A and B are shown apart, each in its own frame.
Chain A
Amino acid sequence: MAEVALRQLLVCCGTGCLANDARAVADALETALQDANLDISVERGSVELKRTGCNGFCERGPIVKIHPDDVSYYRVKPEHAESIVASIGAEPYKPLLFRGDDKQPVTRQVDNPFYAHQTKIALRNIGQIDPLNIDDYLQAGGYLALQKALLMPTDEIIAAVVASGLRGRGGAGFPTGIKWRSANSYPSLPRYVVCNGDEGDPGAFMDRSILEGDPHSVIEGLAIAALAVGAEQGFLYIRDEYGLAVKNVAAALQAAADCGYLGDDICGSGRKLSLEIVRGGGAFVCGESTALMSSIEGYVGEPRAKYIRSVERGLWGQPTVLNNVETLANVPYIITFGGAEYAKVGTAGSKGTKVFSLVGKVKRSGLVEVPMGVTLRSLIYDVGGGIAQDRPFKAIQTGGPSGGCLPESLLDLEVDFESLLEHHAMVGSGGMIVMDDRSCMVEVAHYYVDFLCGESCGKCTPCREGLRHMRDILAGICAGHGQPSDIDELEELAFCLQEAALCALGKTAANPVLSTLRYFREEFEAHLNEQRCPAGVCPSLTVMQVDSEACTACGACFKACPVGAVHQLAAVGAAAAVDEHQAGNDKKADKPRYEVDVMACTACGSCREACRFEAVKAVKKEAVCA
């Protein structure tokens, strides 16, 4: 094993940070370290640079951490390299530290409110280790769980996972241990294990982050699953667009095989397991278990009826266990520390933690792992820091296209599988999209239905045709030519989807519509009855207007408008004022005025976003244009 350096410089090279030039940052730091090495080697110890996986706080990336001093730098650029290297073992370099609302610099990650409320189990190694170096994973206790499991009877492995209460993290929340047990109960051989890494929900990237940042934990989890169900072959089905994930998992598989953790004789036990990567077919529906298996078999990725479960007849008609990436990443922890230890975290029915991707209109967005049972309020306000620009909260969309939108009255809801289902939303794969008062819920429903129209496999009538009609109806409502019968029609189509669609994606596809109808019905009614979009979003019903009272004539709206619809008018000035005395008192009198040309305005909202004085307002188009 390599000699452990006294200090480590951890450079986040997750996809988010790479997009922000993390590679150049790492290179610059490497050069700076080499240049500085001579005079710091004795006093400050040798420093090793590591390119790690995603730290979750992608919004403030690239992130560089100094370990073990626990110093974290955010939004690092290559030109900061020398200052960072100079700060190793010395005073932290203040300009790059995190600053919250109080503007005070925060050095340690544990003091950063984004991280302070998190409990990391599935993400335990990510950001700490180099995913391409198996030694890093081994030093973090990797593959000990597999070695322990090799010595355990199958029943005991399964019992530990059952006792942990771990439930599938991919969406449905089926108890993992029970799934393994039932696959084991069918005598047919061979059996297969599959890791579902075909993450497709808009805004969700937890599986991506785990596969990229800690691929060995997933491989180890899958190997333990294979031991538990007696499988000797397994597949990692990874979304084709996840290039870095595929690369890192492929390297990890090779390293694990080279070290004897995979192959024909795992750790000398005589047990066999070969794992291979299957690149996804590029369809959202391939994340559905039966469609995924069709895709692995080489057929079109379309689901089949699940009256006979995959644990009985899955891949090539054989018993198959399919688990999500995040589920598998939890497994080594459970085997190492025991099911009871894992079950200490979470709620009665939902144990452990869940990784959420908290995105949308929050001050701090990113990937967060919190115990099950945390309230939505805590997620949004403690972890996320509240709504961006301190605007009012309107809704949180949970669980991706199969989930629903929850209103402010449910902010104190404790998030777990049951509680969200009760309120017509879902944990799903863990997407959390926060919306402020400038989000139109009809438009949100339309967005999700439109997404699903393109991603439905099109095999069954309710999903293919029903979604198209729902999309057309919702588009009509947004455009202001909805019919009074539209809401009934939407509800009837939703009922048909829920009851009659072929697969779980179809059965839940109406959730975005049903939940917005349930909690934001008055917005639908305003569109339908008054041809008004209360959030000021739908372009057919809305135009922007400048409120001359509130306007400070800063010109931000004028600059922001992409279509030149904001016009600068000449200053009112003394000449234009009827009463000279009044004009003299008016501070704005010599400043220009701004006005929106209602015929040119596309209601994109750029001017409203740009205005810091609430002077740009969305108004009903009809009222202005009439």
Chain B
Amino acid sequence: MRLTIDGVACEAEAGEFVKAVAERAGITIPSICHHSALPGLAACRLCLVEATPAGKRTEVVTSCVYPVSEGLQVVTMSERIQRLRRTVLKLLICRAPAAEGRLAEYCQEYGVQNNFTPPDPDEKCILCGLCVKACEELGPAAIATVMRGVDKQIQSAFAEAPTDCIGCSSCAKVCPTGKISCTDDGESRVIWGKRFHLEKCPVCGRPFATSEELAWLTHRQVGESLDLTLCPSCRAQQAAKQSVRG
């Protein structure tokens, strides 16, 4: 189906979302809670755009989860959208003044200053929920949002070192603000207050995954045909050699 984003004609498949289509057309829409490998969360509200479906009225929508439709017209940078993004950024930077990554860049780009008093000046978490989503999709759902409203937090059960965490560090990798600390010392990894032993690749000798993660992958039968004892890089090399020989 055909749609227009900022005047640019775009092609899209039914079921795609506006943000992905825009990015394919080279139009970037700011967002913090989005990761292309995970379903859209529509939580941070930065990817707001104005959408006008054919024959309908214009609405402000979150482009990460807004489905494309034939004849849809999208404006990503109107005065209204900029005003809303500025307020959202102001709220986010006040909540997480210590956040690393894109947030500070966006604030600069939109000329936003934090004029509220932050509840915690050292806070990094913007509660976007990406880590929880990643753990649900890739791991054992060892962390979750707890409480609600202004008291919401990301936590493991009872705020203790999570018993079912496999130490895969997906949560830390997707975290857009550097909130989740994950430290590897070559032998072991510490995350969520829990220490994991790191397995080394028999070929290159690099530590690459925790024993629990490998057990989890075997259990889930992800990559049944893969040799999970090798690190991803050596595994790829091996596969390449085999295909050349084959």
Q: For window 458-499 of chain A, which residues contact chain B by CB distance below 8 Å?
A: 458-462, 464-469, 471, 492-493, 495-496, 499
Q: A500-B60, A500-B88 are in contact. Are A304 and B152 (CB under 8 A)?
A: no
Q: Does B149 lie within 8 Å of A465, measured CB to CB?
A: no
On chain B, the residues within 8 Å of A283 by CB distance are: 148
Q: A499-B80, A500-B45 are in contact. Are A454 and B87 (CB under 8 A)?
A: no
Q: Does A307 lie within 8 Å of B61, measured CB to CB?
A: yes
Q: In the bound complex, how far is the Cα of B62 from the Cα of A495, in angstroms?
A: 16
Interface check A72, CB cutoff 8 A: no
> Quick one: closest A residue to B50, CB to CB?
A499
Interface check A355, CB cutoff 8 A: no
Q: A453-B150, A500-B45 are in contact. Are A458 and B127 (CB under 8 A)?
A: yes
Q: For window 404-451 of chain A, which residues contact chain B by CB distance below 8 Å?
A: none
Q: A500-B45, A500-B84, A502-B42 are in contact. Are A462 and B91 (CB under 8 A)?
A: yes
The one of B44, B66, B94, B147 that contacts A458, using a Cβ cutoff of 8 Å:
B147
Q: In the bound complex, how far is the Cα of B83 from the Cα of A431, in angstroms?
A: 34
A208 to chain B, nearest CB (A): 22
Q: In the bound complex, how far is the Cα of B84 from the Cα of A308, in angstroms?
A: 23
Interface check B171, CB cutoff 8 A: no
Interface check A241, CB cutoff 8 A: no
Interface check B20, CB cutoff 8 A: no
The one of B66, B83, B91, B95 that contacts A305, using a Cβ cutoff of 8 Å:
B66
Q: For window 14-60 of chain B, which residues contact chain A by CB distance below 8 Å?
A: 41-45, 48, 60
Q: In the bound complex, how far is the Cα of B120 from the Cα of A468, in angstroms?
A: 14
> Quick one: closest B residue to A506, CB to CB?
B45
The one of A285, A307, A466 that contacts B67, using a Cβ cutoff of 8 Å:
A307
Q: Does B42 lie within 8 Å of A464, measured CB to CB?
A: no
What's the count of A-B pairs with C-beta under 8 Å? 102
A408 to chain B, nearest CB (A): 33
Q: Does A493 lie within 8 Å of B87, measured CB to CB?
A: yes
Q: Does B88 lie within 8 Å of A464, measured CB to CB?
A: no
Q: Does B66 lie within 8 Å of A466, measured CB to CB?
A: no
Most B-side CB within 10 Å, residue of A304, A455, A466, A469: A469
Q: In the bound complex, how far is the Cα of B119 from the Cα of A453, in angstroms?
A: 15
On chain A, the residues within 8 Å of B139 by CB distance are: none
A17 to chain B, nearest CB (A): 33
Q: Does B91 lie within 8 Å of A499, measured CB to CB?
A: no
Q: In the bound complex, how far is the Cα of B91 from the Cα of A464, in angstroms?
A: 9
Interface check A457, CB cutoff 8 A: yes
Q: In the bound complex, how far is the Cα of B150 from the Cα of A115, in angstroms?
A: 42
Interface check A300, CB cutoff 8 A: yes
On chain A, the residues within 8 Å of B119 by CB distance are: 468
Q: Does A459 lie within 8 Å of B144, measured CB to CB?
A: no
Q: Does B84 lie within 8 Å of A499, measured CB to CB?
A: yes
Q: For window 50-107 of chain B, which residues contact chain A by CB distance below 8 Å?
A: 60-62, 65-67, 80, 83-84, 87-88, 91-92, 94-95
Interface check B116, CB cutoff 8 A: yes
Q: In the bound complex, how far is the Cα of B149 from the Cα of A499, in angstroms?
A: 19
Q: In the bound complex, how far is the Cα of B115 from the Cα of A492, in angstroms?
A: 14
Interface check A402, CB cutoff 8 A: no
Q: Does B148 lie within 8 Å of A458, measured CB to CB?
A: yes
Interface check A456, CB cutoff 8 A: yes
B221 to chain A, nearest CB (A): 24
> Quick one: closest A residue to B80, CB to CB?
A499
Q: Does B116 lie within 8 Å of A469, measured CB to CB?
A: yes
B96 to chain A, nearest CB (A): 10
Q: For window 325-375 of chain A, which residues contact chain B by CB distance below 8 Å?
A: none
Interface check B230, CB cutoff 8 A: no
Q: In the bound complex, how far is the Cα of B145 from the Cα of A88, in angstroms?
A: 60
On chain B, the residues within 8 Å of A458 by CB distance are: 127, 145, 147-152
B100 to chain A, nearest CB (A): 18
Q: A458-B149, A465-B92 are in contact. Are A496 and B84 (CB under 8 A)?
A: yes
Q: In the bound complex, how far is the Cα of B148 from the Cα of A193, in angstroms?
A: 28
Q: Does A502 lie within 8 Å of B45, measured CB to CB?
A: yes
Most B-side CB within 10 Å, residue of A283, A307, A452: A307
Q: Does B43 lie within 8 Å of A502, measured CB to CB?
A: yes
On chain B, the residues within 8 Å of A459 by CB distance are: 41, 43, 129, 145
Q: Does A462 lie within 8 Å of B150, measured CB to CB?
A: no
Most B-side CB within 10 Å, residue of A283, A500, A502: A500
> Quick one: closest A residue to B152, CB to CB?
A458
On chain A, the residues within 8 Å of B116 by CB distance are: 469
Q: Does A454 lie within 8 Å of B65, measured CB to CB?
A: no
Q: Does B67 lie within 8 Å of A308, measured CB to CB?
A: yes
Interface check B126, CB cutoff 8 A: yes
Q: Does A462 lie within 8 Å of B148, measured CB to CB?
A: no
The one of A454, A464, A496 that contacts B127, using a Cβ cutoff of 8 Å:
A464
The one of A468, A493, A502 that contacts B150, using a Cβ cutoff of 8 Å:
A468
Q: Does B145 lie within 8 Å of A300, measured CB to CB?
A: yes
Q: A307-B66, A464-B127, A502-B45 are in contact. Are A495 and B145 (CB under 8 A)?
A: no
> Quick one: closest A residue to B136, CB to CB?
A299
On chain A, the residues within 8 Å of B129 by CB distance are: 459
Q: For window 298-332 of chain A, which residues contact chain B by CB distance below 8 Å?
A: 300, 304-305, 307-308
A292 to chain B, nearest CB (A): 15
Q: Does B148 lie within 8 Å of A461, measured CB to CB?
A: no
A493 to chain B, nearest CB (A): 7
A474 to chain B, nearest CB (A): 14
Q: In the bound complex, how far is the Cα of B94 from the Cα of A458, in angstroms?
A: 16
Q: In the bound complex, how far is the Cα of B148 from the Cα of A468, in angstroms?
A: 12
A303 to chain B, nearest CB (A): 9
Q: Does B147 lie within 8 Å of A461, measured CB to CB?
A: no
Q: In the bound complex, how far is the Cα of B150 from the Cα of A454, in angstroms?
A: 7
On chain B, the residues within 8 Å of A469 by CB distance are: 91, 94, 116
On chain B, the residues within 8 Å of A465 by CB distance are: 91-92, 94-95, 150
**Assuming A464-B152, A495-B84, what are 7 further A-B pairs, CB within 8 angstroms?**
A454-B151, A456-B149, A458-B147, A458-B150, A461-B126, A462-B91, A467-B149
What are 10 contact pairs spanning A and B, CB under 8 A? A283-B148, A285-B148, A454-B148, A458-B148, A458-B149, A459-B41, A461-B45, A465-B92, A502-B42, A502-B62
